[in-house]
Amino acid sequence: MLWLFVWTGLAFCGIAVLGVLAIRVHLEVRRLSASIAAGSRAIAGAAEEFQRTAEPLAVRAGEIARR
């Protein structure tokens, strides 16, 4: 009968450890997704700035090519 209590206690501890690890994974995934979102916003801003600055150069290059 003692073994039944021991195994039940060990099973409970194992499930508790898995629960704690699942919570830690969830928090890390949230932090990673926030970091990816910030990086995505930064890349989008850089792409818009690049497009804004490259457009006059493309127009000038087109004028040179027509000559």
User: Could you tell me the pTM of the whole model?
Assistant: 0.66
Is the residue at 41 inside a domain? Answer: yes
Is the residue at 15 inside a domain? Answer: no
Is the residue at 1 inside a domain? Answer: no
Q: Rounded to an integer, what distance in angstroms lies between the CA atom of residue 31 and that of residue 18?
A: 20
pLDDT of amino acid 67: 66
Residue range(s) defining the domain that contains residue 57: 23-67
Closest-CA residue to 58 (of 50, 42, 46)? 50
Query: DSSP state, 49?
Result: H
* Overall domain count for the chain: 1
Which residues in the chain belong to E strands, given as ranges? none
Q: Rounded to an integer, what distance in angstroms lies between the CA atom of residue 35 and that of residue 41?
A: 10
Residuewise pLDDT in 10s, the chain (67 residues) = 889 999 999 999 999 999 999 999 999 999 999 999 999 999 999 999 999 999 888 788 776 766 6
Is the residue at 32 inside a domain? Answer: yes
Is the residue at 18 inside a domain? Answer: no
Is the residue at 61 inside a domain? Answer: yes
Is the residue at 7 inside a domain? Answer: no
